[in-house]
Structure 1
Amino acid sequence: MSWRQKRSLGEEFVSKIYDTFQVDERYVLDHPDGFTYWSGDLATTVRTDPGLFRQSQVTYRVTATTEFIRGRGRVAEVILALEDILDHGTMSGAVYNPQTDVFALECGVYATEDNSEFSKGAMAAAVCLQVNEAMVLSTRLAEHLRTSIAYSAHPTQGPRSGVDESLSHTFEQFTASGAAPNRWHGQPEWQQAEWVMEREAITFESDHKGRIHATFPWHCGGEPIDFLVSIEEAHPRLGAGLHATLVIPMPLPKAGIGKLALNLNHYEANEYKRCHTLGSWCMHDEKLAFRLFVPNLLYTPQALTEVCVAMATRAIWVDEWFVALRQQAAPPSS
């Protein structure tokens, strides 16, 4: 059986990503649940799980991974560099596999019929952006840190010479759209996002047209978790869009933030948390944070609400996660 038969919503998502890539079939390796594609000398793997029936509907986890750099004895330096770089990322998070000594970018969505209007297009775009970012990051880190790029080749066709031109064309569409006025400005769905915050947050304030600030419970002492979704901050490469930032109020040294950010990205990628893994844990204003940028091109009326629900869900589970860690570290009572 093949995902090409599109027997499930998850396989429909894989097919959408495949079509968005405009792939050269010679550089595709099929799997029963997805495919690996060499758009250049880096490999990107897209997969769907079989689906999980829950709350009267089936949810599919669709993921994409692009390996881009090897540690080669400089893992700590790469992590330190990534914690700043990912603050200006888009829709993928960085992870590190110590068994293979390879860093990769990962993204994923929990696809349902209810959220497919946003998540299908968002996932396809996230994969295209992931490949572009992996190429940029691999070259940048290899030059500055003298480590090696995670080159890969098709098992029968061998290495690919050059980069798929369709990727450059797609990225140009993102930048062109980002140069236009922000498509989220003044849209009616800001009121729907306020309803999410009213239900989930401790406090929130909104200007009703382009900015919501909220706080969520933090049971490890100090201030609450801080959340901001706004159109005020443009992306340095992609221009206008929607920026979402979740800040954890926990003092940590810079080196500690980088390692913890990668661990949290890995945790989200491997645990069923029901919040899209679009974006990345990173360092923002010298604090541990989760950052997501949704480009102007991806505007849909559903996008803002989906982002707010995912961030609210993330705020809840990360608070519980740190509470559990603190309890495990506490000395046993006498």
Structure 2
Amino acid sequence: MFERDELAAWLRLLETPQVGRESARKLLAAFGSPEAVLGASVAARREVVGPGPAGALGVAVPGIDALVDATQAWVAADATGSRRVITLGDPLYPPALLQTADPPLLLYAQGRAELLGAPCLAIVGSRNPTAQGRDNAREFAATLSRAGLTIVSGLALGVDGAAHEGALEGPASTIAVVATGLDRVYPRRHLGLAHRIASEGLMLSEHALGTPPLQAHFPLRNRIIAGLSQGTLVVEAALQSGSLITARLAAEAGREVFAIPGSIHSPQARGCHALIKQGAKLVDAAQDILEELRLDRPAANSSASEPPAPADPLLDALGYDPVTLDALVARTGWSAEALNTRLLELELDGRVARLPGQLFQRIATG
């Protein structure tokens, strides 16, 4: 952990109004350290970043001493020693982020910091996925984590949460990059998941303690998700979504972009289809990603040798696109009453999902 003066200098540099990431980076390149930046004359700083940021650093920042105290207390309060403040020059700073255009200057971490140097894959997607999309995220993440890829995502509802849960099933685990301070959890529904990740994986943020979930911070988080990872997998996404921003940032950083195709009738598949048209690699199995990234095949699943389940005529009639009850009546010749009974059985068995608008969708089970 930093000495108090060093930590105070870092926080003063990063939390001063009018001093953005670009200006802070230029000042560090010119003067070498936050202490040297603050110790330089306004005139010297002005030559590097102009009068606004140069002068702002000469003005006291309200609450900075309290923030320094809170940060030191936050680190010290963890008996396991898993809480850290990591700067650009720290050996723990993730090498993959250093190769991006806008690496965060300081990171707050809680959990297994060694994951920052592990091979990573980002999995992102809709906050309102279909049941199949949620299962795909979980299953891909679990398989890839078992194969040695740490799964990076943003702790959001939907695909992000499912990816984190799946990744925790494997030894490579998961990194959750969040848009708040690490003393807050957003969304609150993921409080238990966040605590589990802090224990078994890694929670990561560039934002100071106490930072609330501000809208502008979520796109910033996405650049870290993409930057940490060798590639980004988009599971489901609408055409206008943060997941496509993450995919674009990954492509701009020279990383691979993967997308799972879906129904041509599903709005949640349109973002993935757009990515595929733009050159993203279509994947329908985790092995596609492992081969593209030149990683070893995961250990065979013991269930692979089990005989296949007998065919179900209703599942065959469902296909994999969402379908109405009337359409199933036409396809099967069954009565609506008989269909509802069997659909409920399949829903309870986790093989069919009931969607809004009285639609039903088959769930792939492997």
Q: TM-score, normalised by structure 1?
A: 0.28
Q: Which structure dedicates a bigger proportion of its chain to helix? A: 2
Tell me which structure has the larger Cα radius of gyration. Answer: 2
Q: TM-score, normalised by structure 2?
A: 0.26
Q: Which structure dedicates a bigger proportion of its chain to strand? A: 1
Flag the structure with more relative contact order, 1 or 2, with Cα contacts below 8 A and sequence separation at least 6: 1
